[in-house]
Structure 1
Amino acid sequence: MSYNFFVKSDIEFGRGAAEKLPEVIKANGIKNVMVIYDQGVKAAGISEKVLDQVKKADVNVTVFDKVLPNPSNELVEEAAVIAKEANVDGFVAVGGGSSIDLAKAVNVLMTNPGKIGEYGGMNMVKNPVHPLIAIPTTAGTSSEITNVVALIDTEKVIKYVIIDNKLTPSHVIADPEFTKTMPASVTAATGMDAITHAVESYISNMATPMTEYNSLKGLNILYNNIRTAVHNGSDMDAREQMMLGCVITGFGFSNANLGLVHGIAHTLSAHFGLAHGMANATVLPYVMEFNAESCPEKMVELAKDIDLPLTGNMDEDKYALANALKDLTKDLGIKTLSEQGIQEKDFDMLAEDVLKEPVLGFNPRQNITKEQVIEILKKAF
């Protein structure tokens, strides 16, 4: 049996990596670059540092700094108009998943006709896109190395994805120095997002030996460093390890896909604007508890990967990971659904929409019912 494992990005990793940006821009022959980031990146002084490096490449610079969490179709279209007017032929995306996803989506519209909503699904992008240099400022989404864009369709009130290998950034500059300004709450939420990617991709029914290797290695690095990164944000060794774990995990999940945790998180973000990482973290332990029935051996392997104590009894050990994740989310201050403003009266509507999520097709436990989703939401409440 054969399987495909796709890796594209040219990665410059480590402290001081940002100094390579002018060289990368020149190597790609970019003349008119759009730099995309949000106001948080600007307030942290990161955008100024990146723009200083961009200017060394002697290019025309257009800035789009209106990125919002969970970017919408409308925001993509707005940025695309500006990019086309400036004849942009390359992008530098600075920030978390929202900034990088927005840049990916705008890049699609530079060389492909129509509206961005027309490209939802898999392999819908027909024409090659421009060079995109991704500079992550969080260690969580892995958007810098994946072939996925997640957007909000405000008319349909859904969070949908575009999956196409053409979307993967051509270059990544992963400099952990840019993560040290993240507050503890963001470090926790984005770090738990990465852990979710590792766990869900490992148990995905699309997993292969190559994706499983990356998922396990990524989880080990992330789990053993997230507490230090959250509780002592000045520890740059822990910050660097979190970024490394995020990249490694990204190789796994971009090939194996994800599951029910992301199905629930997408729905929570679409209806209530919950930050993606926080939404994942809130429900992760309870989805893993639910999935344990379908993949007990893999649950035990995940537990062994992070050296959890086991009894040798499969019926007990298959829940070891879920229980450890409950302790971890509590230790990191991850908010419950009620603390994030979700009400029990919303559960029925949310559960119905969760069942429409395509990502559920990759979940190890199938034939999920609305009642089962509601039970998970109640546990996370």
Structure 2
Amino acid sequence: MSYHFFVQSDIVFGKGSAGELPGIIKSHGLKNVMMIYDEGVKAAGIAEKVLEQVEKADVKIIIFDKVLPNPSNELVEEAAVLAKEAGVDGFVAVGGGSSIDLAKAVNVLMTNPGTIGQYGGIGNVKNPVLPLVAIPTTAGTSSEITNVVALTDTQAVCKYVIIDNKITPTNVIADPEFTRTMPASVTAATGMDAITHAVESYISNMANPLTEYNSLKGLQVLYKNLPKAVKDGSDMEAREQMMLGCIIAGYGFSNANLGLVHGIAHTLSAHFHLAHGMANATILPYVMEFNAKSCPEKMVELAKAIDLPVTGNMEEDQYLLAKELKKLAEDIGIRTLSEQGIEEKDLDMLADDVLKEPVLNFNPRNNITKEQILDILHKAF
């Protein structure tokens, strides 16, 4: 049997790696570069540091700093108009998944006609895109190395994805110094997002030996270092390891896809604008509990990977991971759905919409019912 495993980005990793940005820009022969980031990155002083490096490349710089969480089609179109008017020939995206995803989406429209919504799904981007340098400031989404963009359709009130190898960032600068100022709550939520990527991709029905290796290794690195990074944001060894684990897990999930956790999280974000990482973190333990009977051996392998005390009794051991993830979420301050403003009356509507999520096709337990989703939502409530 043959397996496909896609890896593309040229990665510069480690403290001080941002200093290589001018050379990267020059290597692409860029003249008009759009920098994309949000207000948080600007307030933390990170945008200014990156801008200093871009200026060394002697290029014209166009700024788009209006990025919002769960970026919408309208925001993509707005940025694309500005980029086209300025004759942009390359991008530098600085921030978390929202900034990098927005840049990837705008990049699609620079060389492909129409509106961004028409590119939803797998393999619908026809033309190659422009150079894009991704500089993550969180350790969670893995957007810097994946072929995936997650956007919000405000008219349909849903999140959808564009999956295409062409949209993967050309270069990545993974400098853990840029995660130093990330608040503990964001560190926790984005870190749990990365752990979700690791475990969901490992049990995905699209997983193969190449993806499984990355998913397991990513989980090990993330599980060991997340509590340290949340407890002490200046622990740069833990910060660097979190960034490393995020990239490793990203290779796994971008090839194996995800499952029910993300299906629920996408719906929560679309309707209530929950931060993606926090939505995943809240739901994760209960979906792992739900999935356990469909892939008990893999659940035990995940438990063993992080040294949980297996007993040899499959009926018990298959739930060890779910229990540990619930404890981890509580220890690092992940909030329940009710604590995030969701009301019990909202759960029925949410369950209906989760059933429409394409990502459920990759979940190991299939034929999922509305009642089963409601049970998960109530447990997370």
Q: TM-score range by the shorter chain?
A: over 0.9
TM, length-normalised to structure 2: 1.00
Deviations 1:286-345 (A, max 9, x none): 000000010000000000000001111000000000000010000000000000010111
Question: SS of 1:162's equivalent?
Answer: strand
Aligned pairs for 1:242-321 within 5 A: 242-321=242-321
- Partner residue of 1:354? 354
Aligned pairs for 1:1-381 within 5 A: 1-381=1-381
Question: SS of 1:293's equivalent?
Answer: helix
Rounded to whole Å, the distance in 1 between the matches of 2:166 and 2:344 is 41
Question: SS of 2:66's equivalent?
Answer: strand
Rounded to whole Å, the distance in 2 between the matches of 1:379 and 1:5 is 36
Question: SS of 2:65's equivalent?
Answer: strand
Give the partner amino acid of 1:115. T
Rounded to whole Å, the distance in 2 between the matches of 1:31 and 1:141 is 29
Give the partner amino acid of 2:87. N
Structure 2: 5+ residue runs without aligned partners? none
Rounded to whole Å, the distance in 2 between the matches of 1:194 and 1:27 is 31
Give the partner amino acid of 2:117. G
Give the partner amino acid of 1:95. G
Rounded to whole Å, the distance in 1 between the matches of 2:249 and 2:29 is 30
Deviation at 1:3, TM superposition (A): 1.3
Question: SS of 1:62's equivalent?
Answer: strand
Deviation at 1:36, TM superposition (A): 0.1
Give the partner amino acid of 1:79. A
For the aligned residue pairs, the C-alpha RMSD in angstroms reads: 0.3
Deviations 1:177-208 (A, max 9, x none): 00000000000000000000000000000000
Rounded to whole Å, the distance in 2 between the matches of 1:234 and 1:5 is 35
Structure 1 runs (4+) deviating above 3 angstroms are none
Structure 1: 5+ residue runs without aligned partners? none
Question: SS of 1:264's equivalent?
Answer: helix
Question: SS of 1:138's equivalent?
Answer: coil
Question: SS of 1:365's equivalent?
Answer: coil
Rounded to whole Å, the distance in 1 between the matches of 2:210 and 2:122 is 21
Rounded to whole Å, the distance in 2 between the matches of 1:198 and 1:161 is 19
Question: SS of 2:294's equivalent?
Answer: coil
Rounded to whole Å, the distance in 1 between the matches of 2:293 and 2:275 is 29
* Sequence identity (%): 80
Question: SS of 1:297's equivalent?
Answer: helix
Rounded to whole Å, the distance in 1 between the matches of 2:30 and 2:337 is 45
Question: SS of 1:250's equivalent?
Answer: helix
Question: SS of 2:237's equivalent?
Answer: helix
Give the partner amino acid of 1:126. K
Rounded to whole Å, the distance in 2 between the matches of 1:374 and 1:362 is 20
Give the partner amino acid of 1:228. K
Deviations 1:89-117 (A, max 9, x none): 00000000000000000000000000000
Rounded to whole Å, the distance in 1 between the matches of 2:108 and 2:251 is 22
Give the partner amino acid of 1:113. P
Question: SS of 2:91's equivalent?
Answer: strand
Rounded to whole Å, the distance in 2 between the matches of 1:21 and 1:111 is 24
Question: SS of 1:150's equivalent?
Answer: strand
Deviations 1:129-183 (A, max 9, x none): 0000000000000000000000000000000000000010000000000000000
Rounded to whole Å, the distance in 2 between the matches of 1:352 and 1:121 is 21
Rounded to whole Å, the distance in 2 between the matches of 1:221 and 1:123 is 31
Deviation at 1:39, TM superposition (A): 0.2
Question: SS of 2:135's equivalent?
Answer: strand
Question: SS of 1:135's equivalent?
Answer: strand
TM, length-normalised to structure 1: 1.00
Rounded to whole Å, the distance in 2 between the matches of 1:233 and 1:307 is 25
Rounded to whole Å, the distance in 1 between the matches of 2:232 and 2:155 is 42
